[in-house]
Structure 1
Amino acid sequence: MRWSISCVLLLSLSACAIRPSADHQLADTRWRVTELDGEKPVGEKSADLTFSSNSLSANIGCNQIKGEWRVEERRLIAGPFGQTRMECRDIGLFEQEQALQSLLVASPTLTIENGRLTLQSSGHKAVLQQLNRQP
């Protein structure tokens, strides 16, 4: 009996794990954030999202976040994320980093059209331009 309960729990937990979307059109692409909540990124460095076949990394100009991703029914499911913890000196940069991370973990809807990716949740919206496909 204990063994069967353990198996059921293990199978349930594995079903909840994020599985990468290697076959999705986002796999192996890189995107530049052009707009976040109606504003251009404020950092001196570029704000990018990179989707490999098994992970998503994002940098708005200071810290980097990285985690797993998949797409389900036009929604991006991402995380949990690991993050660097550098001090962001540009005014507004920390707030934009928090907004981007909040957007990514909120299972935003995604639309890809003409090299443009739009991620939208109830609280945030990002518009990104495709840079290139990763090798």
Structure 2
Amino acid sequence: MRTLRNLASGLALAAALALTGCAGGASPDTALTPDGPGSPTPVVDAPLAATTWTVTGVDGAPAPAGRARFTLAPDGGASGNLGCNRFTAPGGVTGPLLTLGPISSTRMACEGPVGDLERALSALLGGGPLTWKVEGETLTLTGSDGRKITAEAASAAE
């Protein structure tokens, strides 16, 4: 009888500890990290290659939403949409520099803000080496003249 009472007490204690552990679990934003419990989950930078990047701005001006997208291949080549026309370009990545070769694109006539975006992107992407930097989900490409393209990594649903 004493063994059954001890077993019942042990099971009750184990259940209470399990429930306490469930109630105090860490949320996804405060998971255990190398900085200790309760620290924010670190932001992981999106990879430069094999990510679809949606252009959000050129030289600080917002780009028409979702119109221009591109993906960089592991060898540094690029393909995508400049806002109106599809494009492809050979390229290479050496350290912080991305260099694209001649841009080949379809030839639809593009006017207005989309045409302006396309011309700006073509000039920047084809204008010589670009310094690249990824912070979280944001890519910044900077030309030697200081002009910039900003792009966001597309979500898995896009």
Q: Is the 8 A contact 2:49 2:73 kept in 1?
A: yes
1:71 matched residue in structure 2 = 93
Q: Is the 8 A contact 1:31 1:132 kept in 2?
A: no
Q: Offset at 1:74?
A: 0.7
Q: Which runs of 5+ in 2 are unaligned?
A: 1-46
Q: Offset at 1:123?
A: 5.1
> 1:1-135 maps to which residues of 2 (within 5 A)?
25-42=47-64, 46-54=67-75, 55-89=77-111, 91-105=112-126, 106-121=128-143, 122=145, 124-131=147-154
Q: Offset at 1:27?
A: 2.3
TM-score normalised according to structure 2 size: 0.60
Q: Offset at 1:45?
A: 5.2
TM-score normalised according to structure 1 size: 0.69
Q: Offset at 1:70?
A: 1.3
Instruction: Report the structure, 1 or 2, having the larger strand content.
Output: 1
Q: Which runs of 5+ in 1 are unaligned?
A: 1-24
SS of 2:91 mapped into structure 1? strand
> Number of residue pairs matched?
107
> 1:126 corresponds to which letter in structure 2?
I
| Residues 17-60 of structure 1: CA deviation (Å, up to 9, x unaligned) | xxxxxxxx422111011111111223x75211112335311313
| Misfit runs of 4+, over 4 Å | none
**Structure ranking higher on relative contact order (CA contacts 8 Å, 6+ apart):** 1
